[in-house]
Amino acid sequence: MDKFKITFLPDNKTVEVEKGITLLSAAISAGIHINSSCGGDGVCGRCKVILKKGQAVSLPTGRISAEERKKGYHLSCLSVAQSDLEVEVPAESRLDSGTLAKDDAHMLRLKGIFSEPEDTDKGDSILGENIFIHSPLASKLYLDLPKPNLEDKISDLERLYRQIRSLQDLPVLQTGLSNIRRLGELLRSSDWKITATLGKRNGTTEIVILEPGDTSKRNFGFAFDIGTTTICGQLIDLNTKKILGTKAAYNKQASYGSDVITRIIFAQGTDGLEKLHHAVIDEMNLMIQELTRENNIDLNDVTCCLCAGNTTMMHLLLRVDPTYIRREPYVPTANFIPVVRAYEAGIKINPRGLLACVPGISSYVGGDITAGVLACGMDKTEKLSLLIDIGTNGEIVLGSKDWLIACAASAGPAFEGSGVTCGMRASRGAIQKVKINPETFEVTYSTILDTPASGVCGSGYIDAIAELLRAGIIDRGGKFDPKLIHRRIREGEYGREFVLAFKEGLGTTVDLIVNEMDIENIKRAKGAIYAASAMLVNHMGFGFNDLEQVYIGGGFGTYVDMPNAIFIGLLPDLPREKFVFVGNSSLVGARQILLSHEAIMDADEIAKKITYFELSVEPGYMDEYMASLFFPHTDLSKFPSVTGKKSSP
Amino acid sequence: MDKFKITFLPDNKTVEVEKGITLLSAAISAGIHINSSCGGDGVCGRCKVILKKGQAVSLPTGRISAEERKKGYHLSCLSVAQSDLEVEVPAESRLDSGTLAKDDAHMLRLKGIFSEPEDTDKGDSILGENIFIHSPLASKLYLDLPKPNLEDKISDLERLYRQIRSLQDLPVLQTGLSNIRRLGELLRSSDWKITATLGKRNGTTEIVILEPGDTSKRNFGFAFDIGTTTICGQLIDLNTKKILGTKAAYNKQASYGSDVITRIIFAQGTDGLEKLHHAVIDEMNLMIQELTRENNIDLNDVTCCLCAGNTTMMHLLLRVDPTYIRREPYVPTANFIPVVRAYEAGIKINPRGLLACVPGISSYVGGDITAGVLACGMDKTEKLSLLIDIGTNGEIVLGSKDWLIACAASAGPAFEGSGVTCGMRASRGAIQKVKINPETFEVTYSTILDTPASGVCGSGYIDAIAELLRAGIIDRGGKFDPKLIHRRIREGEYGREFVLAFKEGLGTTVDLIVNEMDIENIKRAKGAIYAASAMLVNHMGFGFNDLEQVYIGGGFGTYVDMPNAIFIGLLPDLPREKFVFVGNSSLVGARQILLSHEAIMDADEIAKKITYFELSVEPGYMDEYMASLFFPHTDLSKFPSVTGKKSSP
């Protein structure tokens, strides 16, 4: 069989592949993750690469313009090599991975709900301690055991149990053979001074790790939010509860499909589940390695991981077949997943360290929502509250301490900066705030960390569309006014577009624009979320005005401009003070559960308490959704403050 | 490096070894287990082989007679090859392995304590059901789960838990990732009809195995008694409690040393622990394979194993370093060993099957004694009882339902047929009863299963010595009367000897004899046990006459002749009706624990309740032991019935 060498630039990574293998597959083999929302079906047009040397042949596609074709652009999923190749992967086709700067980490903090203690001098933050008793998933206990003598001859293991029980009330205590095998030598070589890591496992306590000497000061864990589009990982000092670092990266599973349904279908193919599993695990392991290296922490001192994510993400993380999630009656294999050893799922921390997953509610409302409810404290308040978690799936929870109900709406990844032309995750250089002068159409914007703009994040798009509406550049349907002529308005490949930032001085290869396709995407996303919220509130016999508190979660920029979010019809038209932006509430909840056994039990209660409301079979949902496909809505009476303000900037 | 090929006969197995490797090591490499009580130190003289072809060189030894040397005898532990060799391993040097016939299995039944139900038509026996509730270590539960529908959408795992809990009250239910990974497909491909194996693990219940369809009728387990010299394994139908078969074999660890101390020392050498571990595991796996094959049982239907044994045996079984057992203050690594997966210890049953060990008391009183006490019900009776378990270590337990105390005495393996010239395990062909005509010195004997005699087991030696004493052939010190001349009395290599059975017609290559060295061995063994019993009883302020019940355990023949055991001074001189011969009480107890969770809890209680009495530091023990080195004792007033009967047959 013929084989070709394909070198990917700018990484300069070369792989040898058999004839007939697509360039997308070759890139994956080379460890380069290319965006591929449609899962390699040639539909989404996100996986463009530029052929620099050699011959390749492609299936026909409408996703490459004539101009692009001249420059050597190919859709990598439709192209196969005819010779050795050199291929460039442009930045816009790339699924990047990156660290949030220290300051960026603050975006992930839950604002406005808890009184946060002042940051320490290291700039780290402490969260959650006001709510739950500090008792992490894995805790270290230093033990100075009395040495055996002829009067005290109980065995080493019983001695260890006795000492632990003299310090903690633990009726069911377990340990494994590998610890027992090391125990005799360990105790004697360490002069009976050892550190036991105690893990909470499904109603029992396990002696997870035994180490010589006192290592109790070095106990670290990871909280993860595994989103369909974005993975966030956070390194926590389990003793001090400090956040030592946070990273976010696109979920590399996007190479195999942009939403959970595409990925479940992909999982059913040959090695599909394995590939999806590795895509997430590899990214998590990379974050773990980088964050521990940056903080000079030994991987063996990382004793546990706590993951929140939607139900499909949890299945893929654990390499559990997600097939039945999308087959009627839509039943996942497990919502409550027992605590397992992290290595069983391929996560590389201490080989005996633990992995716990936040319990989920149903196939389409997962543990990320349980964690979000926990973080917001919705289950503890008398107030009628709504949580809107804006991710690739939008999940909505309504209720109070007495009852909770949730539904899910497929919003797409637009608010996470995916599936939109210049979208990017809310990280360094993302345009997060936009103002457009309604007279001159000139733009002022700010970026995260005030570095040169390299893309637009969710909050930037919300602002941009609100401002385009206010300036009359687009109409309530999202179409550009065809009469306007301005250097920032032009015809692009996907309809008219508005230039937010010209490439000069930015270091990007393209102008940062918003086009009609992007606006359409955002409109559908906000419409799905608004319609779902409305349906859920109405289903329970309430109106939006009955809500006492509305929590907005999601990985936007530093904050979402609530008036603008209302202006475009993403959020209901309620007084500003009812809204609380909670950021990545799933990650906050995961961290709380990592840090407190009380929170673990609380999460179990929440997951059991939440009723799932199936939106797709609900009569009227489609009408509500269609009515929401306007800015802000076809029924303007629902947005009195917007209507009143429409013409003012 | 030179290599030589060594072929062992009659097995005709060849191994290639490097120059300098002893023939004993070569035999082990070839899978042939040679007796080596001293652990290869050239002391015991048990590892003789006959050189048939080739050149070997040996270190000097007094253990090979001139006559033997002429015949080509070498001590395998002291000999190395100088060329390719052919070496015969004579039967007497061999550690054999064998099945007990169906009828032999009855020897292992506990007699005289429980009313045993009649054997079924298959000749199997049922035990223990009168005492403990039937709830085996692993039980199978057939589940016909309601299929999910839009009204009942809980996840597969929660559905499984719900169904199990509708049938059993199990608050803490666990399962592992591998079961979860299979669950979705398993449930659907089996039309929601599956069998769950539920295992009891340290206070929780684990879903150990999941299988399609109804396999609940096929659930089997093994009970093992792992003795220093003998391993007994028993296949049990966990549903019916029937014993399907029993096997016994010498513990192949004897190749590395005859007692626990020698083996602990061997374990400290290179690969020592590994070798000892494999010696026991390999034998157990062989028994498991043979018994399942004979009963046409799939290994996957064997879901658990329960092992009783002394503390060192349990450490070696689990590959736990036993070093500290023999270092002051004599502390084992674990007495209470958690339930683990059998494969973790190398035992080949269902890969997810469980292994439990009966909890032990101290370094020198192990779980075999806990099991024995359980089997005898000593912990449940008001009666002051004594259990004397006669094995390579003799363990003695005294007490009642209110208190229990135990000690251990190093008896040596003589009563198990090891370390004595013609000794063999109590199995087919072993001389088990002996009568000697005091006038003619002619012998009548019976063998187990009435097959031609091939050796002498423990009860045979007890009878033989009692009869030699009664006939005046030996004196109370164990020395032959030098004046007697008889065709059965002759001078042998190790002093005078008495021929119990001439080889003609027997199929053995040698006459079956008892010599002065054997008598000395038996005398020391019985002396150690008697002295320990006396010390323990006196320590608690009692005399033997205070005992209301005396249980005698051990792998003798079908039964021990109690009057003869008293006659030689092994047992105290008490009315015959106070004695109960309980056979292998460790195996009986292990089986009860395998079959009942109530018995597991009882065993834990017993192990916690028993106080260990350290004999070796007790003033007066050595005096008592020395005084016991006569038949029956130096102080004849302790044996009035014997003294009165001494001259009558």
For the CA atoms of B30, B35, B39, B43, what is the dihedral angle to 10 degrees? Answer: -130
In the predicted model, what is the mean pLDDT of residues A277-305? 95
Contacts of B533 (CB under 8 A, 6+ apart): B386, B388, B396, B544, B572
Strands (DSSP E) contained in B138-212 are 138-144, 173-175, 193-201, 204-212
In the predicted model, what is the mean pLDDT of residues B174-202? 94
Q: What kind of architecture, by CATH, is found in domain B104-119+123-127+221-357? A: 2-Layer Sandwich (3.30)
Measured CA to CA, the distance from residue B431 to residue B499 in angstroms comes to 13
Under the banding of pLDDT at 50, 70 and 90, the label for residue B123 is very low
Which residues does chain A have within 8 Å of residue B320's beta carbon, measured at their own beta carbons? 177, 180-181, 183-184
So what's the pLDDT on residue B485? 95
So what's the pLDDT on residue B96? 58
- From the list A157, A175, A177, the residue facing B344 with the nearest CB is A177
Say whether residue B146 is in contact with chain A using an 8 A CB cutoff: no
**pLDDT tens digits for B304-327?**
999 999 999 999 999 999 999 999
Is B156 in contact with A334 (Cβ distance < 8 A)? Answer: yes
The alpha-carbon gap from B342 to the nearest alpha carbon of chain A, in Å, equals 11
Nearest to A409 by CA among A304, A530, A505, A494: A530
Measured CA to CA, the distance from residue A29 to residue A271 in angstroms comes to 14
So what's the pLDDT on residue B107? 42
Lowest mean pLDDT among A327-341, A391-405, A555-569: A555-569
Name the pTM for this structure. Answer: 0.85
- From the list B172, B323, B330, the residue facing A184 with the nearest CB is B323
Say whether residue A145 is in contact with chain B using an 8 A CB cutoff: no
Tokens found for residue A204: 């029992």
Give residue B283's Cα distance to chain centre: 12
Which residues does chain A have within 8 Å of residue B316's beta carbon, measured at their own beta carbons? none
Cα dihedral sign, B170-B171-B172-B177: positive
Strand order in the sheet with A579-583: A579-583, A549-553, A385-390, A393-399, A404-410, A610-612
ipTM confidence: 0.84
**pLDDT tens digits for B252-302?**
998 888 889 999 999 999 999 999 999 999 999 999 999 999 999 999 999
Measured CA to CA, the distance from residue B517 to residue B117 in angstroms comes to 44
Is B174 in contact with A338 (Cβ distance < 8 A)? Answer: yes
Specify burial of residue A482 (Cβ count, 10 A radius: 0-12, 13-18, 19+): exposed
- From the list B323, B333, B363, the residue facing A180 with the nearest CB is B333
So what's the pLDDT on residue A96? 57
Is A155 in contact with B319 (Cβ distance < 8 A)? Answer: no
Which residues does chain B have within 8 Å of residue A406's beta carbon, measured at their own beta carbons? none
So what's the pLDDT on residue B557? 60
**pLDDT tens digits for B365-406?**
999 999 999 999 999 999 999 999 998 889 999 999 999 999
Is B336 in contact with A150 (Cβ distance < 8 A)? Answer: no
- What is the percentage of chain B residues whose pLDDT exceeds 90? 69
Beta-sheet pairing, A579-583 with A549-553: parallel
Examine residue A632 and say whether the peptide bond preceding it is cis (omega within 30 degrees of 0).
Answer: yes
Nearest to A134 by CA among A607, A603, A594: A594
Measured CA to CA, the distance from residue B500 to residue B477 in angstroms comes to 20
In the predicted model, what is the mean pLDDT of residues A161-185? 92
- From the list B157, B319, B345, the residue facing A333 with the nearest CB is B157
- What is the percentage of chain B residues whose pLDDT exceeds 70? 92
Which residues does chain A have within 8 Å of residue B330's beta carbon, measured at their own beta carbons? 153
So what's the pLDDT on residue A14? 92
Q: Best mutation site among A147, A153, A155, A314 for testing chain B: the one with the most B CBs within 10 Å? A: A155
Beta-sheet pairing, A404-410 with A610-612: parallel
Is B334 in contact with A183 (Cβ distance < 8 A)? Answer: yes
Under the banding of pLDDT at 50, 70 and 90, the label for residue B125 is very low
- Report B:313-352 residues touching A (Cβ under 8 A): 318-321, 323-324, 328-338, 340, 344-345
By C-alpha distance, the chain B residue nearest A356 is: B177
Is B362 in contact with A172 (Cβ distance < 8 A)? Answer: no
Q: Best mutation site among B154, B333, B341 for testing chain A: the one with the most A CBs within 10 Å? A: B333
In this predicted structure, the answer to whether residue B429 has a pLDDT above a threshold of 90 is: no
Measured CA to CA, the distance from residue A375 to residue A397 in angstroms comes to 13
Size of interface A-B (CB pairs under 8 A): 155
Spell out the domain ranges in chain B.
3-94, 104-119+123-127+221-357, 138-212, 377-413+523-645, 422-516
Which residues does chain A have within 8 Å of residue B202's beta carbon, measured at their own beta carbons? 172, 174, 204
Specify the 3-state DSSP secondary structure of A511: coil
In this predicted structure, the answer to whether residue A101 has a pLDDT above a threshold of 80 is: no
In the predicted model, what is the mean pLDDT of residues A236-240? 97
Q: What is the mean pLDDT of chain A?
A: 89
Examine residue A329 and say whether the peptide bond preceding it is cis (omega within 30 degrees of 0).
Answer: yes
So what's the pLDDT on residue A56? 92
**pLDDT tens digits for A106-136?**
444 433 333 233 333 333 333 343 478 999 9
- Cβ(A458)–Cβ(A564) below 8 Å: no
Under the banding of pLDDT at 50, 70 and 90, the label for residue A343 is very high
Nearest to B110 by CA among B308, B372, B460: B372
In this predicted structure, the answer to whether residue B100 has a pLDDT above a threshold of 70 is: no
- Cβ(A559)–Cβ(A521) below 8 Å: no
In this predicted structure, the answer to whether residue B93 has a pLDDT above a threshold of 90 is: no
By C-alpha distance, the chain B residue nearest A614 is: B150
Side chain identity, residue B387: L
In this predicted structure, the answer to whether residue A423 has a pLDDT above a threshold of 90 is: no
Q: How many other C-beta atoms can be found within 10 angstroms of the C-beta atom of residue B322?
A: 26
Q: What is the mean pLDDT of chain B?
A: 89
So what's the pLDDT on residue A1? 61
**pLDDT tens digits for A16-27?**
988 888 898 888
* CA A308 vs CA A97, A99, A266, A335, A359: distances in Å: 19, 19, 22, 11, 8
- Report A:184-203 residues touching B (Cβ under 8 A): 184-185, 188, 201-203
Could you confirm whether domain B138-212 is CATH 3.10.20.880?
yes
Do domains B3-94 and B138-212 share one topology? The answer is yes
Tokens found for residue B511: 């006459």
Under the banding of pLDDT at 50, 70 and 90, the label for residue B39 is low
Lowest mean pLDDT among A496-500, B503-507, B574-578: B503-507
- From the list A148, A158, A333, the residue facing B156 with the nearest CB is A333
Tokens found for residue A607: 């997951």
Could you confirm whether domain A3-94 is CATH 3.40.50.1860?
no
> Phi/psi at B8 (nearest 5 deg)?
-100, 130
Which residues does chain A have within 8 Å of residue B336's beta carbon, measured at their own beta carbons? 155, 157-158
* CA A17 vs CA A20, A29, A253, A594: distances in Å: 8, 9, 21, 43
Strand order in the sheet with A73-75: A13-18, A3-9, A85-88, A48-53, A73-75
Count of residues making up chain B: 649
Measured CA to CA, the distance from residue B542 to residue B525 in angstroms comes to 23
The alpha-carbon gap from A186 to the nearest alpha carbon of chain B, in Å, equals 11
Measured CA to CA, the distance from residue B556 to residue B559 in angstroms comes to 7
Is A337 in contact with B180 (Cβ distance < 8 A)? Answer: yes
Q: Which residues pair with A207 in a beta bridge?
A: A175, A198
Tokens found for residue A333: 């294999």
Measured CA to CA, the distance from residue B209 to residue B301 in angstroms comes to 10
Which residues does chain B have within 8 Å of residue A334's beta carbon, measured at their own beta carbons? 155-158, 180, 183
Nearest to A432 by CA among A555, A569, A559: A559
As a CATH number, domain A377-413+523-645 is 3.30.420
In this predicted structure, the answer to whether residue B61 has a pLDDT above a threshold of 60 is: yes
Q: Which residues pair with B201 in a beta bridge?
A: B204
Under the banding of pLDDT at 50, 70 and 90, the label for residue A250 is confident
Under the banding of pLDDT at 50, 70 and 90, the label for residue B118 is very low
- Report A:629-648 residues touching B (Cβ under 8 A): none
In this predicted structure, the answer to whether residue A538 has a pLDDT above a threshold of 70 is: yes
So what's the pLDDT on residue A65? 80
In the predicted model, what is the mean pLDDT of residues B330-338? 95
- Report A:540-559 residues touching B (Cβ under 8 A): none
Contacts of A163 (CB under 8 A, 6+ apart): A143, A145, A146
So what's the pLDDT on residue A558? 64
